[in-house]
Amino acid sequence: MAIGFINDQFDYNCLCCLPRNAFYIRIDEENIYCHNKGTSTRLDNKTNFKLKFILNLNQNKLEIKNYDTNKSFGAVDIEGMKFKFFVSKCNNGIIEYTILP
């Protein structure tokens, strides 16, 4: 399962190809991806957790944190000015998510 952002230049159908213009955390692999490079991270719980995404366009960074503890899972450089949030799963299954304030 992947959760993150794509910019308006995103032009791939599959995140497994590690496309440019996609910035996300892949839960099953415990990696944060930026383009074709992954940064390893450690998740305490892979099935029921809250994430906080901090998209800083002034510094061109995306930081992903634990919503409850504010622990940072990591930050990556981003490109672009327009982004869409996405949730994706390559195989069969159900993804339940809620966008919190």
CB 53 within 8 A of CB 4: yes
| Of 62, 79, 96, 63, the residue nearest 19 (C-alpha) | 79
- Give the global pTM: 0.81
Task: With cut-offs at 50, 70 and 90, classify the pLDDT of residue 58.
Answer: very high
- Angle at Cα 23 formed by Cα 69 and Cα 64, nearest 5°? 5
Q: For residue 56, is pLDDT > 80?
A: yes
The model's confidence at residue 18, banded by pLDDT at 50, 70 and 90, is: low
Q: Residue 20's pLDDT is what?
A: 79
Q: In angstroms, rounded to a whole number, what is the distance separating the alpha carbons of residues 79 and 16?
A: 19
Neighbours of 46 (CB within 10 A): 10
Give 96's contacts (C-beta < 8 A, 6+ positions apart). none
